[in-house]
Amino acid sequence: MKRITFICLVLLLAACKPNANNNSRPKKVAVVVSTLNNPWFVFLAQTAAAQAQNLGYEVKIFDSQNNTATETDNFENAIASGYKAILFNPTDANGSVVNVNKAKAAGVPVFCMDREVNSATGPTSQILSDSYSGCIELGKYFVQQLNKKGKYVEILGLVADNNTWSRSKGFHSVVDLYPGLQMVAQQSADFDRNKGMEVMESILQAHPDISGVFCGNDAMAMGAYQALAAAGKASQVKVIGFDGAEDAIQGIKDGKITATCMQFPQVMAQTAANYADAWCKGKRDFPKKIQVGVEMVTGKNINEYMAYGKK
């Protein structure tokens, strides 16, 4: 009995001895992104990962596939695997709050990129585009391009994403003041290009005489343009998107897309990674929200811009 007790004590002491190798292993940062099915989010995730790697962290990108349950699995995986910080692009402004709070309870800071969650206390910081202001500029341009009259359609993004409503509200805060402009249809296409095309095709059946389409992102705008081109109406309908994605920028150059708003995912991703690094080094006071300005791109200034806000 005494021998067994002695062996147990020795084993216990051995388990408590600090592992000399722990300090030499890089800390880990997780990038949890809403979807890798959209090139814009691929760029966001890869930029965040690259910046974290440059700062000396081991990084893994987790794809939530636009599914909150998958996102929950990603968070549980990241927390259990000892990731020190999460750079997060949420799937659902309300549904994702529980995941953020779980990470916070586990001592893992969460830095939201591009999309926010509806929680003032959960995330350590939220770095977002000023979508509302960007869509005010798009709304002004839209009114001018349509000469304050005509029928138009709005194609919304994911309804659970606050960006969808920020963009829509910014746009309508201008356009709704002009009674000559009539919204004949408003439907969601989940920020997806193929769905954008299908929604546009369907709406054109009922409303063939529209003059403009406002889309909550460039992917849907490109899909809408495809549908309009197939219907032989591309030259008579102004198509507006949001993001500054590569195909939309080329689309503006080609005269297919009328305007978009350039976001700066590089700024958001790098800021999030830098904040995570600062957290790991002991900093604890971060601004709860940072807005990153967006810039309208049209045929007039297209030569001054590259996709994704790159210089």
Partner 1 sequence: MTKGIKYSIWVIVIAFIGYNSVYFKKLSEVKAASEKFNAVDYAQRLYAALTTSSEKAITPDQLINELRSDKAKAFNQYGKALAIGSTRYFMVKGSGVVKAITENEVVLSTANKNELHIATEFVFGNAIRDASAQVNLNDFTNTADLNNISSEVNKIIRNKVLPPFKSTVKTGDAVAFTGAVGLNREHLDLNGMELMPINLNIVK
Which DSSP state fits 23? Answer: G
Identity at 75, one-letter amino acid code: F
CB atoms within 10 A of CB 35: 21
Rounded CA-CA distance 275/51 in Å is 11
DSSP strand E in 115-180: where? 125-129, 150-156
- CA quadruple 202, 247, 38, 298: dihedral, nearest 10: -80
Phi, psi of 283 (to 5 degrees): -70, 140
Min dist CB 120 to partner 1, Å, is 4
- Output 189 or 307, the one with its CB closest to partner 1: 307
- Output 115 or 193, the one with its CB closest to partner 1: 115
Min dist CB 170 to partner 1, Å, is 8
- Output 140 or 233, the one with its CB closest to partner 1: 140
Min dist CB 276 to partner 1, Å, is 18
Rounded CA-CA distance 112/90 in Å is 7
Min dist CB 100 to partner 1, Å, is 15
Rounded CA-CA distance 207/43 in Å is 36
Min dist CB 282 to partner 1, Å, is 21
Task: Name the residues that contact partner 1, by CB under 8 A.
Answer: 116, 120, 128, 130, 132-133, 136-137, 139-140, 143-144, 166, 169-170, 173-174, 264, 267, 287-295, 301, 304, 311
Min dist CB 132 to partner 1, Å, is 5
The residues facing 188 across adjacent strands are 156
The residues facing 110 across adjacent strands are 86
- Output 62 or 308, the one with its CB closest to partner 1: 308
Min dist CB 13 to partner 1, Å, is 34
Min dist CB 165 to partner 1, Å, is 9
Burial of 130 (0-12, 13-18, 19+ CB in 10 A): middle
Cβ-based neighbours of 264, under 8 Å, separated by 6 or more? 129, 292, 293, 294, 308, 309
The radius of gyration of the chain from alpha carbons, rounded to an integer in Å, stands at 23
- Output 74 or 168, the one with its CB closest to partner 1: 168
Min dist CB 160 to partner 1, Å, is 16
- Output 226 or 270, the one with its CB closest to partner 1: 270
- Output 49 or 128, the one with its CB closest to partner 1: 128
- Output 132 or 225, the one with its CB closest to partner 1: 132
Q: What is the DSSP string of 209-268?
A: T--EEEESSHHHHHHHHHHHHHTT-GGGSEEE--B--HHHHHHHHTTS--EEEE--HHHH
- Output 81 or 301, the one with its CB closest to partner 1: 301
